[in-house]
Structure 1
Amino acid sequence: MVIYLDNAATTWPKPPEVGEAMLECLNIYGANPGRGGHKMSVQASRVLFEARVNISKLFHIKNPNDISFTLNTTHALNLAIKGFVRPGDHVILTSVEHNSVRRPLEYLKRTQGVAVTYIEGDRQGYVTPKQVDEAIQSNTSLVVVNHSSNLLGTILPVAEIGEICRRRGVKLLVDAAQTAGTIPIHVEDMSIDMLAFPGHKGLLGPTGTGGLYVHPSIDLEPILHGGTGSQSEAIDQPDVRPDRYESGTQNTVGIAGLNAGLKFILNEGVKNIHNKEWMLTQRIMEGLSRIEGVELFGPPIGENKTAIVSFNLQGMDSAEVAYILDQHYDIAVRAGHHCTPLAHETAGTIRYGAVRVSPGYYTTEQEVDALISAVQEIVQHL
């Protein structure tokens, strides 16, 4: 039996209700939502709207139609960045951002003359609101921050950064890839203008799902144009949300599963989920810290963070450690650079990468202890 500790990439297993909801969609009402007036199409549309409503409850969004479904967080971030930033704008991001933020902005820098400033975090990935305030220029239009680093687990002070952005007249885009469903998010109280999130991680849905919340005051330029099921007689893309940003047939089966995952989270409670994952994370860190030759990265034991523990073994490449854990112990972790070379440069791990362990809601203490024992055995054989 595999011990799955790669939940930062995709959560597994999912609640049983997720698969059941997807099968029900396929077998009972698997028609095209918004593309017909018959009963099956209407039922499919209702499930999509119910999922928007549940996302609104989770993130305290006033209007469910301000949520657009995407394939994943990367899709959502590209929609937000390329749909909002204009030539001559200045954008601020941090030194712990994912390539899904860095690459679109570097593309706009190269092709449209967009100015980009990287705020340097410390070795643990922390960035202060003061750094953001000092980096804002007269042409700054957008600040992009991840709520939590996918390498270090560091939780950034989004509410304080949002307050500064609102005061300075700058929009805030938050990458919630590692926090949606596991850390409380309130878009109004945290002054978040756009929120990109995955469906397949903390929201416990299937892959191929995600979304973007866009504040009603913001009009993004769509990055996809085509059929929306509404205003079909018009030449131009409709202005109405969410159709404006959802050209083409939606992943109804996936969103049905995502909706089931959302219901599970709302029932369990985000704080309860975080507390359980935090305790597992602390257990991992405490166990690994007692093994000679293990170097841990990110916030120290006892500090609040997401369920991510990155480490290296002295004298071993991170990929080799992950391979041994997989092949000899049936423990699934992730090694390498995790699509975030910026964070690795910040943490000082860019040369060898790091081994990332990420427990989830279904992880047990016995599985955590098995990991610690396996690492201990690997060290003993060095």
Structure 2
Amino acid sequence: MTKPLLYFDNAASSWPKPPQVGEAVLRCINECAANPGRGSHAMAVQASRVVFEARKHAAKLFGFKNPNDLAFGSNTTEALNLAIKGHVKEGEHVICTAVEHNSVRRPLEYLRRTKNVQVTYLETDEFGRINIDALKENIQSNTSLVVINHSSNLLGSILPVADIGQLCRDKGICLLVDAAQTAGILPVHVEQMGIDMLAFPGHKGLLGPQGTGGLYIHPRLDLEPLMHGGTGSQSEAIDQPSVRPDRYEAGTPNTPGLAGLSEGLKFVLRTGAENIHAKEWGQTQRIMEALRDVPHLRLLGPAIGEERTGIVSFVLEHMDASEVAFILDQHYGIAVRAGYHCTPLAHETAGTGKTGAVRASVSYFTTDEEVDTLIEAVKEIADSVIL
């Protein structure tokens, strides 16, 4: 398959990756592809070192002391399922926002059906921002979990995680943060921000391969494992091991993927998440300023000059979002994402529940020339709209 000439789908998976990411994956496959934690021979030991190096880099980036408080998995979805299903008990109450991804909504609705769990979807404004006082008012005596996305994958809005974390600490409620759009892009420090569980992908802002991700779990929490099986430790026991991270990592891990993720983490640590965000923010502002006066086009999310991640979503009146994306791909060689972005709640909030939207998302490697090409292409498509 031919790669797109210009890639603006980084909110789904980042591309390109730093060269060292792919090099580390191949090196791991060729040199240490044994099962980590399953043997004492030299290659198995080296594989274990690869995985632990990735844990150490993640702990440094996200600000937690013990690397073993991180459970690696295949993506953010798996991490969120482990956090939600492993923490919430029958009859408890959960609060989340009205702009959550289906990776939060669907597990919660599953628990509502099967365990009589109550779920409150906290309303936001059209830009995806919540009222913390409203959050406080919706807390009940049986509220056991608050789930928020750090940033909406449709609107790009950024929630005040530290303020929410302080409220949850004061109330003795666990805070789960979905960092799918912010890990590696915004500074995240779990201890300073009061985050009890942090779910993140390896393949987006951390610049690693697909099939990688993880969940930070506060030391005081004991989750019910999502999967049960071989861990290489306490093999004589009937139940899952009690030790971390083995308790939450059944089966053979994606060692080559984690080798690549380790290099992506190192790149982010060297570059600085704040520097990555600054570049992405500048480019989103450039796109928004160029498109804000285009006839028949409506921008979604926070206004120009306000904080957001590297996402610019828009709707073009009288044109289907998928048609716009198809034209950008086929006629301009530009890759974007169109549709509902696995977040129908956010589309309802933005007033695009019936139309969907086009989402263009930048990365640290997006060039100004690529941004200019995208702008001109969207303007040309808008000019061709037949009323």
For the criterion TM > 0.5, the same-fold answer is yes
Specify the alignment match of 1:126 in structure 2.
129
Q: Do the aligned residues in 2 keep the contact of 1:166 with 1:191 (CA within 8 Å)?
A: yes
Q: What SS does the corresponding residue of 2:191 show, helix, strand or coil?
A: coil
Does the Cα contact within 8 Å between 1:128 and 1:157 map onto a contact in 2?
no
| 3-state DSSP of counterpart to 2:277 | helix
Separation of aligned partners in 1, 2:316 and 2:77: 31
Residue 151 (str. 1) matches residue 154 (str. 2): yes
- The 3-state SS of whatever aligns with 2:96 is strand
Q: Deviations over 1:270-303 (max 9, x none)?
A: 1111101111111111111132221001000101
Structure 2 CA distance for aligned equivalents of residues 84 and 364 of structure 1: 42
Q: Which sections of structure 1, spanning at least 5 residues, go unmatched?
A: none
Distance (whole Å) between structure 2 residues aligned to residue 177 and residue 142 of structure 1: 19
| Length-normalised TM-score, structure 1 | 0.99
Which among 12, 21, 40 is matched to residue 37 of structure 1?
A: 40
Tell me how far 1:234 sits from its aligned partner. Answer: 1.0
* Paired AA for residue 102 in structure 2: N
Matches within 5 A, 1:1-382: 2-382=5-385
Deviation, 1:370, is 0.5
TM-score by length of 2: 0.98
Secondary structure of the residue that 1:142 maps to in structure 2?
strand
Distance 1:279 1:19 in 2: 28
SS in 1 for 2:192: coil
Whole-Å Cα distance in 1 between the matches of residues 379 and 223 of structure 2? 51
SS state at 2:121 partner: strand
For residues 379 and 308 of structure 2, the distance between their equivalents in structure 1, rounded to whole angstroms, comes to 24
Contact 1:121 1:127 in 2 (8 A): yes
SS in 1 for 2:12: coil
Distance 1:365 1:102 in 2: 36
2-structure distance, mates of 1:287, 1:366: 14
Provide the C-alpha distance between the structure 2 equivalents of 1:242 and 1:234, rounded to a whole number of angstroms. Answer: 16
CA contact (8 A) 1:29 1:44 kept: yes
Distance 1:124 1:117 in 2: 19
Counterparts of 1:18 and 1:336, CA distance in 2: 30
Structure-2 separation of matches of 1:78 and 1:269:
29
Cα-Cα RMSD: 0.7
Extract structure 1 runs of 4+ deviating beyond 3 A.
none
- 1:50-74 per-residue CA deviation (whole Å, 9 max, x = no partner) reads 1000000000011100000010000
Q: Work out the CA distance in 2 between the residues paired with 1:122 and 1:290.
A: 23
Counterpart Cα distance in 2 of 1:238 and 1:20: 34
Aligned counterparts of 1:223 and 1:268: Cα–Cα separation in 2:
34
Give the aligned residue type for 2:308: K
Shift of 1:375: 1.0
Q: Deviation per CA, 1:141-181, whole angstroms, max 9, x where unpaired?
A: 00000000000000001110110011011100000000000
Question: CA–CA distance in 2 between the matches of 1:373 and 1:249?
Answer: 47
Instruction: For residues 170-208 of structure 1, give each alpha carbon's deviation from its aligned partner in whole angstroms, at most 9, with x where no partner exists.
Output: 100000000000000010111000000000000000000
Unmatched 5+ stretches in structure 2: none
Encode CA deviations 1:295-341: one digit per residue, 9 max, x unaligned: 00100010111000000111111111001000100000000000000
- CA apart distance, 1:41: 0.6
Structure 1 Cα separation of the partners of residues 131 and 243 of structure 2: 37
2 CA distance for matches of 1:379 and 1:355?
Answer: 13
SS at match of 2:190: coil
The one-letter amino acid paired with 2:163 is E
Identity %: 68
Measure the CA separation in 2 of the matches of 1:264 and 1:29. Answer: 22
Q: Residue deviations 1:74-94, cap 9 Å, x none?
A: 000000000000001000000
CA deviation after TM superposition for structure 1 residue 245, in Å = 0.1
SS class of match (1:257): helix
Separation in 1 of the partners of 2:65 and 2:121? 32
Alpha-carbon distance between aligned partners in 1 of 2:171 and 2:217, rounded to the nearest angstrom: 19
